[in-house]
């Protein structure tokens, strides 16, 4: 605390002196000398207004000079008679916290596009460890919750080397109140970390309690990680600076992690399906070029081995006229063993059971009869997968695959193996059946293309959602300082003489501040989901308003109109559509800095019910490679553009059921064509 009288410090307590790293003699009698250079005029002006009795804020942030450099502080000012009391609060910790939250948001945004769930979690754990956060990853298991992964940050480790860093844990405990609230509500804050740990388990309660007695109290919050639209896991973090105000950014981070896990799951599923489809396509190609079925055995069964990752692969075909299965092709058996097991009795065998059932299945070694069971165990086999080969109602044989560990067939593997069995059987039957199987392969390829398109749409939607949320946060953080800047500029303008050189600088600052404010408006428009309130609106009036606003003070620009009279009023949100037309008109004007002609044409759409609105300029045109990129958020070809105008235009039009396209011939000029439904 400091006491100021006659614009000078007359008293500073010990805490303030320690914060500044200065002595009483270095502080008493001074005031503005302790402020950073760019803060002096602002504080002087505010102090003068306070002495004059004008209303000014009691609390504000500034920067002080200390013995260790500049320090970000918060000043709370109160007046008692002629004395002014100033409470100084160190904000350096708050700035560090803001940086942590900003880096956390960047970490969440970087997760989209990762191809596996394990890699997403690994990046999350490593990113939080780099932020020196203490955290725990917990997975529910019935009535209990399993503690799977723990990281102890530097501030919580008390300098114990073996305790610092990430640890894999496999310990189950009870649902403590904070975990239960987070599971049901999505996020929860816990003031008493020791109590929460004690309710998880008495052992963890004692361990955490003993440790926190050395390092001091820690506060915690917990957020829920979702997957596939359902709760999946919990992420609990602990630090001495956490509070309920941090729930919102951590909830957003949990949403980013959940979206990344969903995207990775989709990518992995599509990748697995793509591998299966590729194997099926290669098998179909081999079938098409095979002169006879035996030409297909080697390449076909190599595909099976590569897809399943098995030890031994056997192709067992039914011998004509006998109750036997013969090994027609094998991979992985020693030569001596291959000669010994080249024939099996069909009746009573596992192959006979699978051929009767007609579907692939996995059989444990214990289910086989002797001497096959003993031979499989000697070879280190845990189970065998059998795939029936069927031609219509006639069973041709089976494919057998051995595995050294117990496993089950996934639905995709079962489907793929059955398809491969059909391929083998088809090669044995007729060329006609081969044509049917080619059609199946084409259908699966088409399905793969559709799934890939769906995955791209999912990733793009999640990316735009995260980008919109981040834009809203950035706009909110920028708008508050902008208010202070505008107030300061208004005050500075009053203090300038009409011919003062400083007036020019104030005007420049004002222009740049307004430009920044427009950028904030664009960010907020982009972050705000469009929700149009459509009413029948005549197009002509909206267009005239937008074009008039865009072409004001443009004497060298000529506007040509072509409005067909049979275009009826269209259902639209007038405010949102006015902004769309204004953005398109401004783009056209900016494309013709030396003047030109802007043509506005409105007519009925002949191919669909609706109307077409065209904005055509005589500027230099747009390269074809940039047509689609122009609608991406933050992409711009202008030195001062934000890159959000056309992104907002397309999103608004999509919300109205409309569409926008670009036409730019090599000779120059550009036409933006908007289609609006009736």
For 23, which DSSP code?
A: -
Q: Alpha-carbon distance 637 to 543, whole Å?
A: 25
Is cis: bond before 371, omega within 30 of 0?
yes
Q: What are phi and psi of 622, to 5 degrees?
A: -125, 130
Which tokens is 91 given? 């904000």
578/576 Cα distance (integer angstroms): 5
CA 513/CA 507 separation, integer angstroms: 10
Q: Are 441 and 284 in contact (CB under 8 A)?
A: yes
Cβ-contact 10, 28 below 8 angstroms = yes
Q: What's the confidence (pLDDT) of residue 432?
A: 43
Q: Residue 219 carries which DSSP code?
A: E
Angle between helical axes of 92-109 and 117-130 (0-180°, round to 10)? 170
Rounded distance between C-alpha atoms, residue 369 and residue 362, angstroms: 15
CB under 8 Å to 459, separation ≥6 — which residues? 112, 113, 263
SS3 category, 359: coil
* CA 200/CA 236 separation, integer angstroms: 13
- Give the orientation angle of helix 247-289 with respect to helix 431-495, to 10 degrees: 150
Which pLDDT belongs to residue 38?
A: 62
pLDDT at 148: 86
- Give the integer Cα–Cα distance in Å for 494 and 492: 5
CB 246 within 8 A of CB 100: no
Collect the ranges in the chain with pLDDT lower than 50.
162, 431-432, 435
User: 280-284 contacts: CB < 8 A, separation 24 or more?
Assistant: 280/416, 280/419, 280/420, 280/423, 280/441, 280/444, 281/441, 281/445, 283/420, 283/423, 284/423, 284/437, 284/438, 284/441
Rounded-to-integer distance, Cα 527 and Cα 479, Å: 14
CB 158 within 8 A of CB 211: yes
Q: Which structural domains are found in the chain, ordered by start?
A: 2-90 (3.30.450.20), 96-268 (3.30.450.40), 290-429 (3.30.450.40), 449-527 (1.10.287), 535-677 (3.30.565.10)
Rounded CA separation 655/592 (Å): 30
Q: How far is CA 26 from the centre of its chain?
A: 52
- How far is 69 from 85, CA to CA, in rounded Å? 24
The secondary structure of 526-567 as a DSSP string is HHSPP----EEE-HHHHHHHHHHHHTTT-TTEEEEEEE-TTP
Between CA 374 and CA 391 the distance in angstroms is 33
Longest dimension (CA), the chain: 117
pLDDT in tens, 292-341: 666 777 787 888 888 888 888 888 887 766 778 888 888 888 877 777 77
pLDDT at 614: 94
Sign, CA dihedral 238-242-247-250, equals: negative
With residue 612 as reference, give the H or E element that holds it.
Answer: strand 610-617
Are 61 and 34 in contact by the 8 Å Cβ rule? The answer is no
SS3 134: strand
């Amino acid at each position: 605390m400091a006491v100021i009288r006659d614009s000078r410090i007359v008293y500073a307590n010990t805490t303030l002196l320690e914060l500044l790293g200065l002595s009483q003699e270095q502080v008493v009698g001074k005031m503005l000398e302790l402020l950073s250079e760019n803060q002096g005029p602002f504080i002087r002006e505010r102090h003068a207004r306070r002495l004059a009795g004008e209303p000014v804020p009691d609390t504000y942030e500034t920067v002080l000079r200390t013995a260790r450099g500049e320090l970000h502080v918060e000043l709370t000012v109160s007046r008692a008679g002629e004395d002014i009391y100033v409470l100084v609060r160190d904000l350096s910790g708050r700035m560090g916290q803001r940086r942590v939250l900003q880096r956390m948001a960047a970490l969440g945004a970087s997760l989209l596009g990762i191809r596996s769930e394990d890699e997403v979690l690994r990046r999350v754990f490593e990113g939080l460890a780099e932020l020196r956060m203490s955290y725990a990853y917990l997975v529910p298991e019935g009535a209990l919750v399993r503690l799977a992964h723990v990281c102890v940050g530097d501030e919580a480790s008390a300098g114990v080397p073996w305790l610092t860093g990430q640890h894999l844990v496999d310990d189950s405990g009870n649902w403590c109140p904070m975990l239960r609230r987070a599971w049901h509500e999505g996020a929860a804050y816990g003031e008493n970390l020791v109590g929460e740990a004690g309710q998880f388990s008495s052992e963890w309660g004692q361990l955490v309690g003993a440790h926190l007695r050395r390092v001091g109290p820690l506060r915690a919050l917990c957020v829920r990680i979702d997957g596939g639209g359902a709760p999946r896991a919990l992420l609990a973090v602990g630090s001495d600076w956490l509070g309920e105000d941090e729930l919102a950014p951590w909830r957003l981070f949990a949403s980013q992690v959940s979206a990344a896990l969903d995207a990775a799951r989709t990518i992995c599923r599509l990748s697995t399906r793509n591998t299966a489809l590729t194997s099926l396509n290669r098998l179909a190609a081999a079938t098409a070029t095979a002169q006879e079925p035996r030409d297909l055995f080697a390449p076909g069964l190599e595909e099976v081995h590569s897809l399943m990752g098995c030890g031994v692969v056997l192709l067992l075909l039914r011998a004509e006229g006998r109750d036997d299965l013969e090994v027609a092709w094998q991979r992985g058996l020693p030569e001596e063993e291959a000669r010994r097991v080249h024939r099996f009795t069909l009746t009573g065998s596992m192959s006979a059971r699978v051929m009767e059932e007609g579907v692939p299945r996995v059989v444990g070694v214990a289910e086989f009869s002797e001497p096959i069971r003993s031979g499989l165990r000697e070879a280190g086999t845990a189970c065998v997968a059998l795939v029936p080969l069927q031609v219509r109602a006639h069973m041709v044989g089976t494919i057998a695959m051995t595995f050294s560990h117990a496993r089950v067939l996934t639905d995709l593997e079962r489907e793929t193996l059955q398809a491969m069995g059909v391929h083998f059987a088809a090669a044995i039957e007729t060329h006609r059946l081969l044509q049917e199987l080619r059609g199946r392969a084409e259908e699966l390829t088409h399905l793969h293309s559709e799934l890939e398109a769906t995955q791209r749409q999912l990733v793009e939607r999640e990316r735009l959602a995260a980008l919109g949320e981040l834009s809203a946060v950035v706009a909110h953080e920028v708008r508050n300082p902008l208010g202070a800047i505008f107030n300061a500029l208004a005050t500075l303008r009053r203090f300038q003489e009409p011919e003062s050189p400083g007036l020019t600088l104030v005007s420049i600052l004002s222009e740049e501040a307004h430009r920044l404010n427009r950028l904030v408006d664009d960010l907020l428009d982009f972050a705000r989901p469009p929700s149009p309130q459509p009413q029948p609106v005549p197009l002509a009036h909206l267009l005239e308003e937008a074009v008039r606003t865009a072409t004001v003070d443009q004497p060298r620009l000529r506007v040509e109109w072509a409005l067909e009279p049979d275009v009826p009023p269209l259902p639209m949100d007038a405010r949102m559509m006015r902004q769309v037309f204004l953005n398109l008109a401004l783009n056209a004007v900016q494309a013709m800095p030396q003047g030109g002609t802007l043509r506005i044409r409105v007519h009925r759409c002949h191919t669909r019910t609706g109307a077409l609105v065209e904005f055509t300029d005589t500027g230099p045109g747009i390269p074809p490679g940039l047509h689609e990129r122009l609608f991406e958020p933050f992409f711009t070809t202008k030195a001062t553009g934000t890159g959000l105008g056309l992104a907002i235009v397309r999103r608004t039009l999509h919300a109205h059921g409309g569409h926008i396209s670009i036409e730019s011939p090599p000779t120059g000029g550009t036409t933006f064509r908007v289609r609006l439904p009736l």
